[in-house]
């Protein structure tokens, strides 16, 4: 005879919440229904392989839910009193208290892991104009103030003016400040618009400071461009510490540079 299905389900739900897996639940209930039984009888009744039954019965005995006795040499398995279920619950409460205590001690270590991950730079590499266009798009959408050091002559011959125009407009809409440093000898700023709506400052450095390349900094991202014989490579790094170092270098170069007073428009 078995209990009505609804009562059976309530019992199985309780056993599940006491951390018994499905096989353990089936064997435990079989032991209660059958009374003292051999491992083979329990395995046959539940259609569980004998080896599997042995290992799960051993675990249930360790939990105190099943007991064994001997009739001669025959080992019989039977269920402990229902008080054993309360003992299991108390044992799990103690385990949870131990876990809670360990969690309080370990939680700060997760913060250290996150900081280590933040210190490991995210690096992306591009060829040709894909890197420049990616830089312009991300500068426009990230909403962070931008610092630029560039061999503007190389940029002007390679860059998509429409893409640059959209990047300036997006930065203007989000209130982004753009600080640029160009070589002193370069006067062709046709890609840049000085307008009340654009917060752009340009300073110039002596030509000996410049090379065929460029650096952009915004937030924790740094884009490094190299222009050589019309071949462009771009590396974009994302790292808080490295960005902080580059930001200090930009500040130092701006102090060395002079403010550009000429006129320039976007075409």
Kindly write down the DSSP assignment for every residue of 158-215, as one continuous string.
Answer: HS-HHHHHHHHHHHHHTT-EEEEEEETT----TB----TT-EEEEEEE-GGG--SEEE
| CATH 3.30.870.10 domain locations along the chain | 122-259
- Whether the per-residue pLDDT at 235 is higher than 80: the answer is yes
Q: What is the CATH number of domain 122-259?
A: 3.30.870.10
| CATH 1.10.10.10 domain locations along the chain | 5-80
Tens of pLDDT, residues 109-127: 877 776 666 667 788 999 8
Per-residue pLDDT band at 156 (split at 50, 70, 90) = low
Tens of pLDDT, residues 7-54: 888 888 888 888 899 999 999 999 999 999 999 999 999 999 999 999
Position 116 scores a pLDDT of: 65
| CB distance 180 to 238 below 8 Å | no
pLDDT, mean of residues 171-187: 74
H-helix segments, 35-128:
39-46, 50-62, 83-119
The pTM is what? 0.51
| Domain 5-80 fold | Arc Repressor Mutant, subunit A (1.10.10)
pLDDT, mean of residues 147-158: 69
- Whether the per-residue pLDDT at 240 is higher than 70: the answer is yes
Residue 194 contacts by C-beta under 8 Å, 6 or more apart in sequence? 200, 263, 264, 265
Mean predicted lDDT score pLDDT of the chain: 82
- Give the whole-angstrom CA distance, residue 164 versus residue 243: 23
- Whether the per-residue pLDDT at 246 is higher than 60: the answer is yes
């Amino acid at each position: 005879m078995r209990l009505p299905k609804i009562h059976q389900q309530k019992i199985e739900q309780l056993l599940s919440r006491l951390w018994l897996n499905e096989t353990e639940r089936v064997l435990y209930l079989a032991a209660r229904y059958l009374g003292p039984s051999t491992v083979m009888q329990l395995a046959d009744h539940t259609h569980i392989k004998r080896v599997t039954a042995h290992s799960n019965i051993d675990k249930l005995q360790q939990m105190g839910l099943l007991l064994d006795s001997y009739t001669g040499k025959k080992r019989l398995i039977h269920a402990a009193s229902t008080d054993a279920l309360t003992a299991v619950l108390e044992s799990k409460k103690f385990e949870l208290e131990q876990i809670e205590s360990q969690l309080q001690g370990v939680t700060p270590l997760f913060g250290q892991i996150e900081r280590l991950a933040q210190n490991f730079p995210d690096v992306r590499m591009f060829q040709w104009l894909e890197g420049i266009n990616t830089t312009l798009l991300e500068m426009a959408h990230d909403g962070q103030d931008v610092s630029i050091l560039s061999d503007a002559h190389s940029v002007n011959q390679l860059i998509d003016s429409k893409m640059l125009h959209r990047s300036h407009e997006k930065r203007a809409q989000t209130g982004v400040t753009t600080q640029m440093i160009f070589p002193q000898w370069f006067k062709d700023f046709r890609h840049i618009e000085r307008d009340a709506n654009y917060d752009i400052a340009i300073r110039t450095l002596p030509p000996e400071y410049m090379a065929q390349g460029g650096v952009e900094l915004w937030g924790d991202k740094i884009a490094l461009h190299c222009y050589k014989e019309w071949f462009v490579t771009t590396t974009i790094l994302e790292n808080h510490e490295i960005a902080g170092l580059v930001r200090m270098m930009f500040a130092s170069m701006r102090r060395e540079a002079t403010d550009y007073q000429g006129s320039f428009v976007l075409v």
